[in-house]
Amino acid sequence: MRKMESSEHQVKAVLFDLGGTLVKTTEIPHVIKRILKNRGINRSLKDISQAWLKAEKGLCFRDLTKLLDEFWVQWNLHILSNLQVKSNTQRLAEFIATHWWDYSNVSLYPDVEKTLPLLKERDLKIGLVTNGLQSDVDGILPKVGLQNLFDVKIVIDTLRKMKPDTEVFHHALQRLKIAPSQAIFIGDEIEADYNGAQRAGLTAYLIDRNGKIQDENVNKITSLDDLFKLKLIK
């Protein structure tokens, strides 16, 4: 019986959020400025930042589950309107959405480059559970060489649902054919990642590389190296 219990709770998979957890990307206003400049439209970074923040206030990100890629077209239209861009705005909004990752720098955090191969060496399943769209994942992963790494990739398009919905996490586990007690989830947002994973029955850790989270009730790691230092992975 003891052996069975040990097997049931042995870690067999590590699931990750994407942005802020595995990869860092160019800040949104800088990407917009690059694209607009390429299209012959010059606006200051200050004006773009203000237009972006104003657009965010008027949109509900949960609508991503209904609109998928069209959400970002609408988002871009709001920004362009706030910037008083009046010519070919629909086509430009679509261009920004389609070519976003062509203008954004994407890189892995140093601890990610080191740790992911070590997890694979231990025959662990590696999963991605992100509140990004399939188009985002398709744009990001090839840039950092992770397109063939994951055993499962759950995006908004998969179920038309977003974290912290527990069904998102459960679907990933079902695809991997493992129990919640056999999986660790690592993300950088308390509600979507940490609380969502915990409610789904996974062991959750918040990655806090810069020491910003002061809540002592949250399981934190400052680097993916901690998975081995804290003996979370054998």
Same domain? 20 vs 35:
no
Alpha-carbon gap, residue 47 to 127, rounded angstroms: 38
pLDDT average, residue stretch 54-73: 94
Is the model's pLDDT at 4 over the cut of 50? Answer: no
Tell me: do 43 and 77 sit in the same domain. yes
Per-residue model confidence as pLDDT tens digits over 10-27: 899 999 999 999 999 999
Regarding whether 157 and 85 lie in a shared domain, the answer is no
Q: Which of 60, 39, 37 is nearest to 47 (CA)?
A: 37
**Is-above-0.85 flag for pTM?**
yes
**Token pair in block for residue 204:** 């959750």
Token digits for 132?
């990004």
Q: Are residues 123 and 34 in the same domain?
A: no
Q: Quote the CA–CA distance of 106 and 142 in Å, as a whole number.
A: 10
* Total tally of structural domains belonging to the chain: 2
The stretch 184-192 carries a mean pLDDT of 97
**pLDDT tens for residues 77-129?**
999 999 999 989 999 999 999 999 999 999 999 999 999 999 999 999 999 99
Q: pLDDT above 70 covers what percent of the chain?
A: 96
169 lies in a domain?
Answer: yes
Average pLDDT, integer, range 51-61: 92
Q: Report the alpha-carbon distance of residue 226 to residue 234 in Å, rounded.
A: 12
User: Which of the listed residues 102, 128, 155 is the one where a domain comes to its end?
Assistant: 102
User: Residue 204 pLDDT more than 90?
Assistant: yes
DSSP letter string over 93-156? HHHHHHHGGGSS-EEE-HHHHHHHHHHHHTT-EEEEE-SS-HHHHHHHHHHHT-TTT-SEEE-H
User: What is the pLDDT at residue 169?
Assistant: 98
Beta strands 106-108 and 220-221 are unpaired
Q: How confident is the model at residue 7 (pLDDT cuts 50, 70, 90)?
A: low
Q: What residue numbers bound the domain in which 38 lies? A: 28-102
